[in-house]
Amino acid sequence: MRLIRFFLMPAVLTGLLLLGCANPQVRSETTTAAIQADGQEVKFSRIGTGDYQSFVGNWDDQKDPALYAVLQSPEQFAEIFHPAPTNPPRKPFAPTGELFQKEQILLVSRVMPAPENMDKAFEVQRVTANGQELTLHYQLQPPTKGASYTVKNFLAVRVPKGNYTRIAFVENGKKIGELRPAEGFWSVPKFSVNGKP
């Protein structure tokens, strides 16, 4: 009997494993459950660091190592980004006002040694929506070796506008902060437009 059980157990386990692999419904239900727990995927497009002729203004990065914001208007964009004029100008300083009618920009900025490629220091993993909460998931890979000077590098992502009461930022799997734009809390550190949040 012991000999029979010895040979039967591996066969039974192998059969169960093959059944799970061959059944797409099992895999589908597992994937669906994972998506529901994390939220629905939201389409996004990335704004390159060289798309506009502007730069992130200074902030106290000792107090707030990461600047993060949700930009829902040209005025909010202008509070954080400053034009870098050249003669003649090569690119626009900012997005057009029409962009903000249907979209908003999720922004994260950090001071780091100047990388060879500014856009490779940040990598978007996904943007998810779970009810009224929108979450930006990204990887930060600052250069270990770089120039002798630092830059205010940034990640900017365009997403459709929605009725989101909370916007969270998850960096390397860890939540670094949350914004509540409906309450006037649209950036860290706190910026204001014409004295208003």
H or E stretch including 2?
A: helix 2-22
Mean pLDDT score, 44-69? 97
Handedness of CA 34, 136, 187, 65 (dihedral sign): positive
141 with 47, same domain: the answer is: yes
Highest mean pLDDT among 3-12, 17-26, 135-144: 135-144
What is the per-residue DSSP string for 32-62? HHHHHHH-EE---EEEPTTSSSEEEPP--TT
32 with 54, same domain: the answer is: no
Residue 195 lies in a domain: no
pLDDT tens-digit profile of 92-128? 999 999 999 999 999 999 999 998 899 999 999 999 9
80 with 154, same domain: the answer is: yes
85 with 179, same domain: the answer is: yes
pLDDT tens-digit profile of 133-144? 999 999 999 887
**pLDDT, the chain, mean:** 84
58 with 24, same domain: the answer is: no
**pLDDT of 175 above 50:** yes
**pLDDT of 172 above 90:** yes
pLDDT band for position 7 (50/70/90)? very low
Residue 50 lies in a domain: yes
Report the distance separating Cα 111 and Cα 65, nearest Å.
8
Question: Nearest CA to 105 among 5, 20, 187, 176?
Answer: 187
Mean pLDDT score, 28-56? 76
The number of angstroms, rounded, from the C-alpha of 31 to the middle of its chain's C-alpha atoms is 22
pLDDT tens-digit profile of 63-89? 999 999 999 999 999 999 999 988 887
Residue 153 lies in a domain: yes
Residue 196 lies in a domain: no
Please tell me which residue, 100 or 39, carries the higher pLDDT value: 100
180 with 89, same domain: the answer is: yes
58 with 104, same domain: the answer is: yes
pLDDT confidence of residue 97 = 96
pLDDT band for position 197 (50/70/90)? low
Instruction: Classify residue 21 by burial, with Cβ atoms within 10 Å: 0-12, 13-18, 19+.
Output: exposed
The total number of structural domains in the chain stands at: 2
95 with 161, same domain: the answer is: yes
pLDDT confidence of residue 37 = 55
Supply the range of the domain harboring residue 21.
Answer: 2-38
56 with 31, same domain: the answer is: no
Q: Rounded to the nearest 10 degrees, how much is the dihedral formed by the CA atoms of 182, 185, 186, 191?
A: 140
Residue 120 lies in a domain: yes
